[in-house]
Amino acid sequence: MGAQPLYPRLPILTRVAINFNTTGDNTIIAADASNRIVIHRLWLVVAGATNLTFKDNLPSPAAVPLGQFGGITFDATGEPWFCTDKNSAFIINQSGAVQVSGCIYYLLQN
């Protein structure tokens, strides 16, 4: 019986860990020259107060303030939460220098 999709409309998603503690841009998924990155699910927690900015193809993403031990969950709905342009990485920018841990589920699409 192989792997089953999370939702019938979604194919099997690739999973990658979120694990950084540095200020500034943190590349979570490297750019792919011929595909865009489509994020369908994400969860993370932070060890201390910080602001996170999710950088995809939007011109001015807003920073999300999180307190100590705060977290975010973007659950799979069938619609993507974030999409990059082709040959663009998915980046999370952090204002502080605290541990950020979690997981992202995504697809590569032309």
Residue 87, domain member (yes or no):
yes
**What pTM value is reported for the model?**
0.86
**Which pLDDT value is given to residue 8?**
60
pLDDT along the chain (110 residues), means of 10: 60 94 96 95 98 83 91 91 94 96 96
Residue 5, domain member (yes or no):
no
CA 91 to chain CA centroid, Å, is 7
**What's the CATH code of the domain at 33?**
2.60.120
Residue 3, domain member (yes or no):
no
**Which pLDDT value is given to residue 2?**
62
**Which pLDDT value is given to residue 3?**
65
Residue 8, domain member (yes or no):
no
Nearest by Cα to 83 from 65, 57, 61? 57
> Whole domain around residue 18: which residue ranges?
14-109
Number of domain units in the chain: 1
**Which pLDDT value is given to residue 85?**
93
